[in-house]
Amino acid sequence: MSNSYANAMSHCAYCGLIALNIARNERFIKNNRISANRFLSDWARKAIKEARFPAIVFPELASIASLGHKNASVNNLEKTLTIIWTEWCNEKQRVESLPKEMNVRIEHAFKELGSLGWKAVFGYDQDWSKGGFQPNGLKNIFVIKDHKELFNENGQLTEDYIHIFLVLPPTGNKEAKELKMQAVDTLYKHGILIFSPQTGKNGKCHQFMFEVWPRNKKPNEQALMPSKM
């Protein structure tokens, strides 16, 4: 599963830790936290100047560059980078253990959403074009039924993408956003990235539409990030 920000940030953390260890082994810096903070601060500032990493992580690098000198006696940037790298490794291992078939991943995600109070169903194209399912007091998530034929014998998508829809009962904007992210987080947990989020309303009911692409990759577009990233 590809997440460009997570991959770039973990690579950044890894490189920072390697550079720090080399500096220590070569005795360029003292082996203490303050020296490590200052070294990583200078390293981050140089990484930004030389554009060593994608621009998506520049804000984090700028924060490291600032904190390493400003609060060198308080912060522990080495620990922060270690946590980022360790969490990425754990997430990579978790993703590799997920089912390879996209249709199975969707089934598992729908099952968990069902336990969270969602009604997960397969709908028809005309249901959405006519305004979506009429809310029944439940949180609804559905895949167009015709899309079931878009999976090959290995459970992978054979076409460009499929749509996943959310239809919520009447609720405020804040709660609607929280419910949307609950669905996004659950899909992500089961190895499904979503793209091109669209929003709409049917009366007082919020509706959302997402795209799911083969191999979790859509050309020239980043996936919607889960709330925990």
User: Tokens at residue 191, please?
Assistant: 């190895």
Q: Does the pLDDT value for residue 4 go beyond 90? A: no
Number of domain units in the chain: 2
CATH code where residue 123 lies: 3.30.2000
**Structural domain ending residue among the three candidates 96, 130, 160:** 96
Query: CA-based angle 64:70:75, to the nearest 5?
Result: 60
Residue 60 shares a structural domain with residue 92: yes
Domain that holds residue 130: 102-216
Q: Does the pLDDT value for residue 138 go beyond 90? A: no
Instruction: Give the Å distances, CA to CA, from 90 to 18, 64, 165.
Output: 19, 23, 30
Instruction: Taking residues 35-53, report their average pLDDT.
Output: 95
Distance, CA of 121 to CA of 214 (rounded, Å): 21
**Which pLDDT score is estimated for 68?**
83
Distance, CA of 106 to CA of 168 (rounded, Å): 19
Residue 117 shares a structural domain with residue 29: no
Residue 106 shares a structural domain with residue 212: yes
**Which pLDDT score is estimated for 206?**
87
Distance, CA of 41 to CA of 204 (rounded, Å): 50
**Structural domain ending residue among the three candidates 96, 114, 135:** 96
Whether residue 11 is contained in a domain is answered as yes
Residue 144 shares a structural domain with residue 205: yes
Residue 115 shares a structural domain with residue 65: no
For the full predicted model, state whether its pTM sits above 0.85: no
Q: Mean pLDDT over all residues of the chain?
A: 84
User: Tokens at residue 8, please?
Assistant: 């770039």
Highest mean pLDDT among 37-51, 143-157, 189-203: 37-51
Whether residue 84 is contained in a domain is answered as yes
Nearest to 34 by CA among 62, 83, 10, 70: 70
